[in-house]
Chains A and B, each alone.
Chain A
């Protein structure tokens, strides 16, 4: 089935460690996005990518890094520089920047807990 997959669903890490969250899509979408959601809050954009080998900072990029080496993959690394990394992370994809009137598809999220 086509879709967007995030793994793992739950992730625990010790403070000071970098951790990479996986996001894969088989929808042949050009655009991919990473969001962070804190309890009771809305979604905040971390990074987004409209094409392979290109990405842009969102509203809260500090302490995060991404890569887009392949069209279907957009991993997010939460670095030790991120002061409050515990959150629910959501990945999304959409057909591309040339087409604005299309929907975005979201993964089921990764809940990261840093202890």
Chain B
């Protein structure tokens, strides 16, 4: 299965943009890139996903490299509520083998 690599932690000041990187050099052509975030003692929540083109939604933007071996989650204006662990995962496989495999996650700290 394709794996992802993320930095263990990042820091940001409130109201500044944050760029969270993810490497997935063994991604296959049919894998989607998903991002989730997890607050302490809670289940992860969906942030955004994409295949090849850059994606935007109300929470964030996802920039995908042309060769798809890396991607970047962009929080345009970080708030204290964005402090969480962010996971970059690949949706892999077809048929009954399809599963969600999580990477190491990046712990984002947001300060005033």
Q: Which chain A residues have a beta carbon within 8 Å of chain B's beta carbons?
A: 31, 33, 35, 42-45, 48, 50-51, 54, 56, 58-59, 88, 90, 92, 94, 97, 100-101, 103-109, 111
Contacts and interface: CB of A to CB of B under 8 A. Distances in A.
A61 B48 CA distance: 28
Nearest to A90: B43
B30, B93, B96: residue with the most chain A Cβ atoms closer than 10 Å: B96
A57 B95 CA distance: 15
A90 B100 CA distance: 13
Contact of B96 (A54, A103, A104): A54
Given A103-B49, A108-B42, A108-B43, A94 B100 contact: yes
B76 interface: no
Interface stretch (B13-21, B62-70, B102-110): B102-110
Interface residues on B, range: 20 to 34
B41 A56 contact: no
A94 B31 CA distance: 16
A106 B45 contact: yes
B104 A43 contact: no
Contacts of B45: 106
B105 A100 contact: no
B43 A45 contact: no
26 contacts: A31-B98, A35-B102, A42-B85, A42-B103, A43-B102, A48-B99, A50-B95, A50-B98, A51-B96, A58-B99, A90-B43, A90-B44, A92-B44, A97-B93, A97-B94, A97-B96, A100-B31, A100-B32, A103-B46, A104-B36, A104-B100, A106-B43, A106-B44, A108-B42, A109-B41, A109-B42
